[in-house]
Amino acid sequence: MKFTITGIGTATPRNFITQKELLEHFMSNCILSQKEKQLYTQLLTGGQIKGRYVGARTIDELLCTDPDHLIGRFRKYGTSTAVEAARKAMDNAGVSVKDIRGLVVNTCTGYLCPGLSSYISEELGLSGAIGIRDIMGMGCGAAIPNLESACGMVSVAGKGPVLGIAVEICSATIFPAHDPGLIVSNCIFGDGAAAYVIDSSGKSGRNKLATIIGFESGNYPEFREELRYVNESGLLRNRLSVKVPVIGARTVSEVTTRLLSRFELSKEDIGWWVVHPGGSLVLAQVEKKMRLPKNSLDFSYEVFENYGNMSSPSVLFVLERILKKGHPGRGQKGLMLSFGAGFTSFAALLEF
């Protein structure tokens, strides 16, 4: 059985804050050493990001460290942003909520039980008879496992379409502290959600954007401490090592090699590179390690510039941009690549 993405949609919270505004806020409200001030200034004025969308009413909320407030903000904006993205994806696919037979939701920026799927399905008005999955704790790479899980749901249940949503409220994990890795984290992560609809390829009358050919993943626990969340005083604290760009490039290169080899393809057969925009250094390392053609990651850089790193939804933002602005030719192949906490890396081979 083959599976086809029939719709895609993205959304962000309404509040957009420029990097300059964030710099002024951090400088005025955080006790910082001279070196920390220099690092914030360098990252927020000299980086590629223009600004970020945040799930908060005001900029003052971003430095609130009350756990109850943070989880409330995560639930509120996680639900509303995911629902908006889902409605766009269903509209793009030409399906209604009555057609949806399954829901897969992934997130890592807040913990709820039941998960966000409960709130999202209620808000959308999905049927009580559909399959539900919540994927937690996979970090920036989770959109591809989400997609693979949705394919499995269609395959096992023998029915579709299935709605998948990657949603993160990274601003609910801003952690005011003196660690350089946390300063980097505070300067690059934004909020957003991306949704897709997938169905078996044999269904007629569906919008067909890309067919899933195969998946590959890699698990590297020896690098766990380089990229993860830790719990500290009831708060999620991001651990982001300077080694992440090199590790990310190495691991996605390995999963790419395995996936392409399985289908007897080479990198030259890939017309479109759908790479998670984890940062400008990450993208530069991926491009260098994999010896990609010039400008092959332009859409990833574009997403990073306009939204920052939104964690798991980011790679689907890139895919949406490629579909809308790149206009892949029929039969051209694309490769989705992402990596995240753990350390884990993922690949999905597509045919447009």
Residue 130 clears pLDDT 60, i.e. is over it: yes
Residue by residue, DSSP assigns 265-310 as --GGGEEEEEE----HHHHHHHHHHHTPPTTTTHHHHHHHHHH-B-
Q: Which of 309 and 178 is assigned the larger pLDDT?
A: 309
Report the C-alpha gap between 218 and 337 in whole angstroms: 11
pLDDT at 161: 93
Q: What is the pLDDT of residue 237?
A: 79
91-116: average pLDDT: 96
Residue 289 has pLDDT above 90, yes or no: yes
Tell me if the domain spanning 3-200 has CATH number 3.40.50.720.
no
Angle between helices 34-46 and 180-188 in degrees, nearest 10: 30
- Taking the whole predicted model, whether its pTM rises above 0.85 is answered as yes
Question: What pLDDT does 231 receive?
Answer: 84
- Name the band, by pLDDT with cuts 50, 70 and 90, for residue 148: very high
Q: Which two tokens stand for residue 296?
A: 């092959």
- pLDDT for residue 156 is more than 90: no
Query: Quick one: angle between helices 280-290 and 298-307, nearest 10?
Result: 170
Could you tell me the two tokens for 157? Answer: 């249940």
Percent of the chain with pLDDT over 90: 79
Average pLDDT (89-94) is 96
Decide whether 3-200 matches 214-351 in CATH topology.
yes
Please tell me the predicted confidence (pLDDT) of residue 206.
63
Query: 315-324 burial, b if ≥16 CB within 10 A, otherwise e?
Result: bbbbbbbbbe
pLDDT at position 229 is 86
Average pLDDT over residues 168-196: 91
Phi, psi of 307 (to 5 degrees): -130, -15
- How far apart, in whole angstroms, are the C-alpha atoms of residue 315 and residue 123? 25
CATH number of 214-351: 3.40.47.10
Give the pLDDT confidence of 245-284 residue by residue, as tens digits: 999 999 999 999 999 999 999 999 999 999 999 999 999 9
pLDDT bin (cut points 50, 70, 90) of residue 157 is low
**Mean pLDDT (whole number) for 172-188:** 86
pLDDT above 80 for 218? yes
* pLDDT for 205 beyond 70: no
- All structural domains of the chain with their residue ranges: 3-200, 214-351
% of the chain beyond a pLDDT of 70: 98
**What is the model's pLDDT at position 182?**
84
